[in-house]
Structure formats: C-alpha cells, structure tokens
Structure 1
Amino acid sequence: MVRPLPIRSAARVMTLAFVVACLAASCLVTFAESSALDALRESDPALSYPVAQYAIDPAQKQLWLSALDSPEVDMQRMAAETIARSQEVNGSNLVEAVPSLERILEAKASHPAARFAAARALVVLNSRDSSGKLLEASKSYGSDLRLLIEPTLAEWDYEPARSVWLGRLSEQASRRRELILAVRGLGVVREQKALNPLLEIINDSRRHPDVRFEAATAVGQISATGLETQADKLARSPGTPTSLNRLCAIQMLLTHETAAAAQLLSAWATDDEPLIAATAMRRLNALDSALMLSLAEMALRHPDARIRSEGIESCITHPTTDKTGALGRLLADPDPALREKTREGLLRLSSVAELKPVVNDVVKGHLQSDDWKGQEQAAILAGGIDLEEVANRLVELLESPRVEVKSASAWALRKVAVKETIPAILQIAKNQTELRKAGTGTVVDEQVAHLLETLGVLKATEAIPLLKEYIPKHYPMGVQSRSAAIWALGVMPREEADAELEDALMDRILDFADRPPEMPEVKQMSAISLARMKSTSQAERLRGLAVNVPLSVELGVALRWAVKELTGEELPPPTPVPVPAEDWFLVPLQ
C-alpha cells in the first residue's frame, strides 16, 4: 500500500515542482515573431513617420491633483492610478502630485486600496525621495504593499531597507513570501552581511525549496569567488531532494569565473536531469562558451530543447567546419525557436570564408530534403546569403503543400534575383491570379506578394499586364498582393508615359468610398509609384490632397514624398493625430 505524503512533505514537493517549472522557463530561448520575410515595399523608399502623442489636457492634470485631495476613497484611488498610467504611457511626470500621494500613503485613515494606488504611483514616478515613507508604509500596512515596494527599494538601493531584510532572515516567524522578498532584495543590492545567513538557509533541508533556491540565487549575486567547495559539497549531499541541491549549487556560482567553478559546471552539464544539465550549460556559455565545446555535439543531439539551445550557442560562438555542419541539422529542429536561432547563427557564420561552403551545403541539403521545416529555414537562409545556385529548387518549392515553404521560397527568390527564374515565377503568379479570380483553390497572399515584388526587382516588363490586374478594388486579390503589384509597377522601366495607368493609380488614392473603402496600403503604394513613374500631370492633385485633406499619417507622408520627387517642393510633415484621451479618469468639460 502506498502511503500518502504528509501535508508538509506534499506541499514541499509541489513547491519544488514550481521552482523547477520557473527555472525551466528561464532556460528556454524565446524569440519575437520572425521578421525575416520582410516586404521590400515597406522599406523602399525609406519613409519616416512622426510619432503620435497621447493627448492630456493640462486642465485634466489639475483635476487629477484635486481628486487626490478628495475625501472619497474611489476618487483618491482612481486619481493615483491615472497618474501612474499617464506616466507609463507618455511620461507626464506629475511630480507635483508627490506630496498628496505621500499623504495618502502615510495617513492611518487611508483606505488600503487608495494607499496601494498611491504607493504604486510613487514607484512609477520614480520618486526616490519618498523611499523612507514607502519603507515605513511597507512595514506598517501589510504584505501587499511590501510586495510592491520592496523590489523597488532594492532597485533604488535604499540603504535602510537592508537592515529590515537582514532582520527578516533571522526571524523564525517570517512568512515564506516575505522572506523571499528579503532574500531577493539582499541579492540585488549584493549585501555582504547576508552571505552567511543565506548559506545557512541553502543548507537547511527543512526550509521550503523555493526559499532555498532564492537564497542560492542571492548568494550567487553577492559573491563572485570562494563558494566552489561549498557548492560542490551541497551538490553531493544526499539530502532530499538531491535535484534541488544541485540546482542551488549551480545558482551559488552564478557570478563565479574561476577554473574551479568551470570544472564543477562542466560536470553538472552531463547530469541525467535535463533541467540541471541545461542550467549548468547556460552558465558555462555565459562564463565562456569555449568550455561547452566538448559537450556541444552531445548537446545538439539531446532530446531536451533547452540543452540543444545551449549547444547551438556554443557552436555559433566558437565555430569549426565540423560543428557548423552538425549545427546545420537543427534547421529542421522540432522547436521553432531553435530553428530560427540556428538559421540566424548560420547566417552569421556564412561571413567566415572557410565556413561559407559548409553553410552552402547545409542549405542545399535541406532544400532537397522532404522535411518542410528544414526547407523553410533553408529557403530563408538561401535568400540571406544570396545563394543563386539554388534558384531553380526554390521555384520548385513554390508548389509546396506547406504555406511556410511557399512564402519563404518566394521571398528567397526576390533576394537571389536570378533573371532566368522570371518565366516560371510569372507563370505561377498567373496561375494564382486565375485561381483568385475564379474563387477556387487556395492562394497564399503573402507568397504572391513576394513573387510580384520579385518581378519588380527583376524588371520583368512582361509582367506589367498581370500587375495591372491587381489595381482595381477587388478584395479577393489580397491587400498584400495588390500593394506589391502597384509597388512593382512603379519600379518597372518604361519608355513612355502610360496615362491610363497613372489615372488608375490616382483613382485608388481618391477612393474614399465608405463601402468598401480602399485599403491604406494600396493608396500609399499608388502615390509612391506615381512619383517613380514621373507622373508630373498628377503632381498638383497629389499636393492638394497632402495639404488640404485630413489623411492618415502614413498616406500623408507618402504623398509628401511623391510631391517632392515630382516637383522638388518639400511640404511640412503631417501632424500626427493625437491619441484620444476619452478614457482618462476625469476629463474637463469642453
């Protein structure tokens, strides 16, 4: 019969699981959504746009200040919250509110909600002169305030807070949450007096796992030398749970840069527990990624994504031909973040003369494979390194069943820009266009847009009739494709003016119908292309629109650029539309 864990033991196991989960998340490599497949029309020509400002009426600020002095709790709370928000969104810097906020913070009669809002506003306003009052309030008015205030006092390195945190380390009755606050604060300010008490916490198996882990992290921040022996002893300790001991040992060496620390980390990097191995590898890479070289091949093949990520890091930082080839396998990694990290690394390595052939072979190998993940990344990489010899394979991949490969291949064809691909690209674009017009089949708007831009880059004048089909306002043709087609028309060489084309583009700019409205991107590209076509006959109409008609900032900038290109006249920049302030608390009557 399996006996249930005692309540205290069960709680500790759950807490350890939480520590492990948090550390695991910190080990993962995160990336923003890839912007590799850029659209040329977004950067050619390079336009700059005035930034909109949040509109806050000075009279409105006065209302907020008055509301702080109101006896109504909700008025105080909402005014404090609004002052904090206004600082966050546009840096209003309402320092004149500080005295009233401090009054609410200190008054015994203040409602907890108003006091918390006032404290947060002082924090957001970076009112360091209020540090003493914030500390006293945190000691007197509950843990919610301490959770808000103490991390800020640590960031500001407010000296008197250190004694509060040191005292809490020795208090047996300290709540776990507030003990962790103290530990973190002492770690941030690197308080040397905390070192021995924190070491006692780390080595006390009766303590909660998360408290021990936080203490180990703080110790690693405070001390950069001399903890190797203690960390090794802790890692070897048979105390339960042993995995926590090893995690704490690694954290203790967070800022150690000694050979002894590197030796310990290298041993832990081969741990059977993936989280421990990944954490040790991450520290090794931060210390000196050359220390990871002997482990890199193993790491690249490991089933755990965190460990593979550390192997990638080492291979990119200290590349060799063999390791670059091994790294190339991860272009088809199951983890999308690691695929992107690998691709970016190989792009960097391609600039090294002796590694360029290896990178080229990696690209060609993946393009010929049947794995869509590798095909996608290899196509993007081929475009990044301008590998013209794979152009025919990229054309073949335009018919891939995977959307990702379709778009990546089309984008790469624009980057390599091989004239011999024009007939095939034009035929595929025509096929996609017919499917759109017939309303049958699946058409990828992004892919077609890249293909149409490619035809423009290659100056494929035979594509002009096709490009013109995308001018009329027909939404199934896709806004990306229509914008790309109009941009491509603007860069095409021409021997004589095409008045009908120019009128059609002007009609797009002038289309302000409500149902359905013309898309802003189409209007913008139309203005740019008219300028590139040297359509001087449309210059006055473009100028009139720019000067006299309320337009979006984007279209206003495009029109001004077009007028300057056609006439040389530089119009004043458009005024950005202020962001409405209708949702602010307390708006003055107009």
Structure 2
Amino acid sequence: MFVGIASFDVVRMKTSQRVGDQEERLMLRDQQVFPVAARLLLTLCLVGIVLETHGSWSGAVAAEMQVGAAMDRDPERQLPARQRYFSPQLKSLWVAALGRPDTELQLQAAQTIARAHHLGMPGLEDAIEPLMTRLGQTNVHPLVREACANALVALDARQAAPLLFHHWRNSENDLAALVEPALARWRYEPIRKVWRNRLQDSQSGGSRLRYAMAGLAMLEDEVSGTRLLEMVQQPLGMPVRLRAAQALAELRRQDLETTARRLMADANIPARLGRLLAVTLLKHHRGAEAQKLLLEMTGPREDPVVAVRALSRLFDLDPGAAARIARETISSPDARLRSMSIPILETRADATTVRLLVAVLDDRHPRIRQVAREGLLRLVEAEKSLDGVVRERTVEMLGTDRWRGQEQAIILLVALQHRQSAGRLVQLLDAPSPNVFRTAAWGLRELRVPGALPAMLRKAEREVEAGLVTDMDLEVDVQVSYLMEAFGLAAYRPAEPLMRKCIPKKFTMGSEVRAAAIWSLGHLYAGQTPRELSAMLLDRLHDSGSNATMDLPAEEVTDESRPEVTGLGGPGMESMYAEVERVRCMCAVSLGRMGMKTMVEDIRKHYSGTTGAALDFACGWALQQLTGEPLPRPENVRQSLSNWFLEPLEP
C-alpha cells in the first residue's frame, strides 16, 4: 500500500462530501473485465455489498482518476505492513483455564478462544479437543455449554458435529441458532429427518422453521419439495412463504413457471407478495416461458424489489432484452434499480447508452455517479468509436450548473485527457460548490495546459493574499494546493514569488498550500542548489517547536490548541508553536531534490534511520538523493493484541 507523506487529503475529501444533499451510500463494486465486469457488478448490486474503496476498474485509469495531492505520490512512500501478534503462551493458558473447575474461567476461556479465532489467531485448532471434552461432560453450566458450542462452530470443527447434534437436542439453552446452520453447512445427515418432520408439523414456525427450510435446501432434499410448494401457496405469513420459495428455488430449477404464473394472478394475496414469490421461484429457471414472466415483472410500475430480482435473472438469460429494460430503469426512483442498470447498459455500446450514462453522472447518490463515470470509461475502452460521443456529452454536462455532474465530468475528461476543457475548468475555479472548485483545480493540474496557467496564478494569488489576513477555508486550502502543484510540475516561473510568500510560518494560511508551494519550489530548482531559498527551507525544517511550550500550561499544549485549528493565530503567535509536520516534510524533500549536499548533516539531525514516520521518510529520501545511501525498507509493525481475560506475565 502506498500513500503520501503525512497526507491530510483523504480527511479533507471526506469532510467535503457533506456539501449539498445528504447522500446515501450505494452498494456497488468496481470490476476489471468488460463485459464480465458487468455481470459481477450486477451480482454485487443485487446482494447489497457495500465497499468503501477508492479502487477502479483499471490500474492505469485508476491512477488518473484519483483526486489527490501530487506531493503524496512524489516521492512515493510505502507504509510498513501491520501484523497482528498473539503471544504463543495464550493458547495454553486458555486451554488450561478451560480445564479448571471454576465456571467463570471455563466460560471466559471458551468465549475468548472464539473471539481470538475471529481476530485471526492461528493454531487454535488445538483447542478443539479440550472444547469437545468440556462440552461432553455432565453438570456443565448451560452458559459454558453454549460458549463451547459457539467456539467449536467458529473453529469449523466438523468432527464435533455428533456432539453438537446431541447437545442441541438435549440442552436447556436453545442452541438452534448456533448449531443448525453449522450442521447444514457440514451436511450432517442425521439432522435431515428432524428437519423433514419439522416441515410437516403445522405448529412449527419462527426461526426453527427457517433453519429447517434452509438446511433441507443445502442438503438437496428433493423429497421436501412437495411440502415447500404447498407452503408457498398456503395462506401463511409472508416471511414463511418467502423462505419456502427460496428453498424450493434451490431444489427445483425447472417446471415452476405455472406456479409462478398462478401466484402472479392470484387475487387473494397482495400483488406485491405474489410477484415476489414468483420471481423468487424463477431464480434458476431458463427457457422462453421463464423469460416471458421475468419481462412482465420488470415494467416501469413494478415494485422495485421485484424488478431488481427479475432484471438480474433476465440479464443472465437474455442480455439484450435486459439492456432494453435498463434504458427505462436507469431513471427509476429506486437507487438499487438504477445502480444495477448501469452494468447492464454497458453491454450495449452505442450512443444511446452514452447519453443515458452521462445523465447519471448527476445522480444524487455518490456511488451511482462514480460507477456511471467508470462505465463510460469502459465503453471508450471497449469501443473506440464512442470516444468522440463520450467527450461531447461529458462536455455538455460540464457546461451545466449541476455540481454533481460537473464533478464527475471533470474526472472523466481528465481520464480522457480532454485538454480542450481547460477553459471551462478555469471558470469553475470560482464555482459555488467545493466539490467542483477543488476538482477543477485538480483537473487543471492533471491536464497541464500552458495557456491556463496565468488565470490559475491569478486565482491562487487572490486566495493566498486573503489567507495572509484571515483563516483560509479548508476546501480553499486543498484547491490552491493543487494549483501550486500545477505550477511546480509545469516549471512555471511567474508563480515563484507567490510560492515564496508561503514559506514563512503563517497559521492563517492553509498548511496544504504552504506544503505544496515548498514542494513545487523543489521542482523549480531541481539540481540548482539555491542558497537563499534552501536556507529558508532548512529553517522551516529545524522548527520542531523547542520553544513551543514557553509558559503555557501543559494541558494547553495539544494538537487541538494549535492556532491553525482554533483560529487564534496572530502576530507573533507563530513562534510559540512548532512548524506543521506536513510543511517540514516537504522542506526535506525539496532540499533533497535541489541537491543541497552542504545540508546533509542538518537533514540527518531529523532522521532516525527508519522510515516509519512521515518526517523520517522525507529526510531519508532527501539523504538518498544527496548521498546515494539506500532508503531502508519500512519494517513491519507488530501489533500485539492484549487485554485478554488471561495473559502471560511476559509476552
């Protein structure tokens, strides 16, 4: 995993997402292969998997589409891997506690073994036999018995199935929730008869009936199909009928079309329930009749829950028909239906699909519009002839005043390297939405259009001058930092005076702007060893706050009391606080990039010889550039888990 040096950008980006309407997180996932990606993405939409990743479908495109600071990738820092560490003595202690006569020790030991296994502790299979021994003893407290059963299930102890089955039938506690799903997963044959009998018992209900239906489906018990079919059609509670339909769909993968049609037409049950039962029964069905029924359940007036399932199955059977339906469902009020329509539409690479997906760039749900943008990139990749249409439609969206669409359009046009949009991006530097003006600055940095640099400089000058007087807004800080990086990457000399203004410590000025300005000066003077400038940067690097505490009470010298956080900065206040670490890091990086070999020993004062901390990495990288000494690889961080109920005196 690679990250930038002391990066605050992710935090800033998350903060900015509060702008505008409160936005629902959508359950989608990016995939890499087209059109197989569409099918996988569609499946994830249906089951509702939530991802909080910033990954993309293609490594190359992902690198272009990550909105973030360039100084976080130059130089690139590899974080140390974190490894969980469990003392080798823990297991023997817990097993010993399990064998003690004290009930509390037994209970805690069994619970801890299950918890440690969940956290990734290896070698706990050795505890299976002691757990089975304790579970098999007489006069065991019911809570201990339940904890032992839970630990055995967590350890996937299939050899304990007979013992669990016995105690499940005779225990004072209800172990069904623990034992029955495990026995079904292990395909434990003796429980089949119990589940069959429960299915026939008209008094059965609740969770036990659900376990029986699910278990018989996993055991592929075709004999139960007749009873399940009866339960689907009987006037039972909706949860029971739906569970029965799910189990029946797994057991009978054909010849249920007639039943589905009857349920859809039955006036004696709610229409929504009848159609939901019908689409559930057709989960694995094929053929013309099944497709016809599925088409009937994907209309514009259909209940979204039914339509999502029907459209998913229809896509498996007839992608063309599903794509025609998706052209309507892409504008559905239901977020799940809109989200699953995107990968279906991608299978039809034409101008109509482009038009529909570009409109979704302005969707009110952030993940939907992100996936629509990535879908458009996949279309261009799969069908080069659509490149012009995608650009044209995206530029139209950029020209609107819809901030969601503008933000996604910028990212998409940058990925396509559409430099003709630079003029509009300059205009959007003053957009009312932080999402837009920040992304516009990032886009201009990535497109590197020389003609836009003067206007970018004027914008940066206005914001920096304001920041010298009043506290700079967080979003403006990020925006102007992107502009500063653009000047450095373009070696834009007219911006140098502005960059130099950002070197002195000024807490009303944003720390990102100052760090980016110093980073860019390193690019402007790469290999040129400027003495005056390097002395200014070295002064900032040395400012570690030796006089920061002065006469302040100890409780006031905290991160929360820093002027850039509280807004209490004023004339002379800067000297009371240490320099921001982000700025110090970029000073070290720029000194290394400028080739200041006379400052090697000064830089070494701030280097511990490892690269775990951000400043250590920056100084180590600078020394590597100046002396050629290798940058040590980050050592893995051993994260020792503690606070167990029983631990060794020495880890």
Please indicate, yes or no, whether the TM-score normalized by the shorter chain is above 0.5.
Answer: yes
Residue 558 of structure 1: how far off its partner (Å): 4.6
CA separation in 2, counterparts of 1:299 and 1:475?
51
Q: Determine whether 1:534 maps to 2:554.
A: no
Correspondent of 2:528 among 492, 496, 500? 496
Q: Cα distance, 1:543 vs. partner? A: 5.5
Aligned to 1:344: 374
Which one-letter code corresponds to 1:88 in the other structure?
H
Q: Which runs of no fewer than 5 residues in structure 1 stay unpaired?
A: 1-24
CA distance in 2: counterparts of 1:176 and 1:552, whole angstroms: 54
1:192 is aligned to 2:242: no
Deviation, structure 1 residue 349? 1.6
The residue type paired with residue 325 of structure 2 is L
2:241 match? 212
Is the CA contact 1:461–1:493 (under 8 Å) kept in the aligned structure 2? Answer: no
- How far 1:290 sits from its partner (Å)? 2.1
Do the aligned partners of residues 196 and 536 (structure 1) sit closer, same or farther apart at CA in structure 2, a change above 3 Å counting? Answer: farther
| Cα distance in 2, alignment partners of residues 227 and 144 from structure 1 | 36
Letter in 1 for 2:460: A
| Aligned amino acid, residue 242 of structure 1 | A
Query: Identity of aligned pairs, percent?
Result: 34
Q: Which residue of 2 aligns with 1:410?
A: 441
Q: Say if 1:476 and 1:72 are closer, same or farther in 2 by CA, change over 3 A.
A: farther
Partner SS state of residue 369, structure 1: coil
Q: What are the Cα deviations for residues 393-433 of structure 1, in whole angstroms up to 9, with x where unaligned?
A: 11111111111111221222222221211112222222222
- Answer yes or no: is the 8 Å Cα contact 1:209–1:244 preserved in 2: yes
| Aligned-partner Cα distance in 1 for 2:238–2:160 | 35
- In the alignment, structure 2 segments of 5+ residues that lack a partner are 1-44, 56-65, 549-556, 558-576
**Does the aligned pair in 2 maintain the 1:29–1:306 contact within 8 Å?**
no
Name the CA shift for 1:425/1:245 in 2 (closer, same or farther; >3 Å). same
2:91 partner letter: K
Code of the aligned partner of 1:253 = L
Q: Which residue of 1 aligns with 2:118?
A: 88
Residue 501 of structure 1 deviates from its aligned partner by 4.1
CA RMSD of aligned residues (A): 3.1
Taking the aligned partners of 2:156 and 2:518, their CA distance within structure 1 comes to 49
Retained in 2: the 8 A contact 1:138–1:146? Answer: yes
One-letter code aligned to 2:217? G
In 1: Cα distance, 2:217 partner to 2:462 partner: 63
Residue 569, structure 1, aligned to residue 629, structure 2: yes
- Match of residue 487, structure 2, among 438, 455, 466: 455
Tell me the equivalent position of 2:102: 72
Deviation at 1:93, TM superposition (A): 2.9
Which residue is equivalent to 2:639? Answer: 579
Q: Deviations over 1:126-166 (max 9, x none)?
A: 33333333333333336753223333343444444444433
The answer to which of 500-509 and 96-105 deviates more is 500-509
Compute the TM-score of the two structures, normalised by the length of structure 2: 0.78
Do the aligned partners of residues 557 and 372 (structure 1) sit closer, same or farther apart at CA in structure 2, a change above 3 Å counting?
A: same
Aligned residues: 564
Please name the residue that 1:435 is paired with.
466
- In 2, are the aligned partners of 1:262 and 1:291 still within 8 Å (CA)? no
Equivalent residue for 2:168? 138
- Report deviation, 1:53: 2.0
Distance 1:556 1:57, change over 3 A: farther
Shift in alpha-carbon separation, 1:440–1:540, aligned structure 2, 3 A: closer
CA displacement at 1:98 relative to structure 2: 1.7
Structure 1 residues 23-422: aligned runs within 5 Å: 30-32=50-52, 36-141=66-171, 145-205=175-235, 207-270=236-299, 271-351=301-381, 352-422=383-453
Query: Residue 53 of structure 1: SS of its match in structure 2?
Result: strand
Cα distance per residue 1:147-198 (max 9 Å; x no partner): 2333334344444444443333223332311111222233345443433332
Deviates more, 1:293-302 or 1:487-496: 487-496
User: 1: distance between equivalents of 2:188 and 2:74?
Assistant: 50
133 and 338 in structure 1: CA distance in 2 versus 1, 3 angstrom threshold: same
Considering fraction of residues, name the structure with more helix: 1
Cα shift at 1:34: 5.3
Q: Please give the alpha-carbon distance, in whole angstroms, between the structure 1 residues aligned to 2:172 and 2:315.
A: 41
Does the CA contact (< 8 Å) of 2:468 and 2:506 recur in 1? Answer: no
Contact 1:277 1:307 (C-alpha < 8 Å) held by counterparts = yes
Counterpart-to-counterpart distance in 2, 1:304 and 1:236: 25
User: How has the CA–CA distance of structure 1 residues 438 and 244 changed in structure 2, closer, same or farther, with 3 Å as cutoff?
Assistant: same
CA gap of 1:212–1:354, structure 2 versus 1, over 3 A, is same
Identify which range, 374-383 or 441-450, moves more after superposition: 441-450
- TM-score, length basis structure 1: 0.85
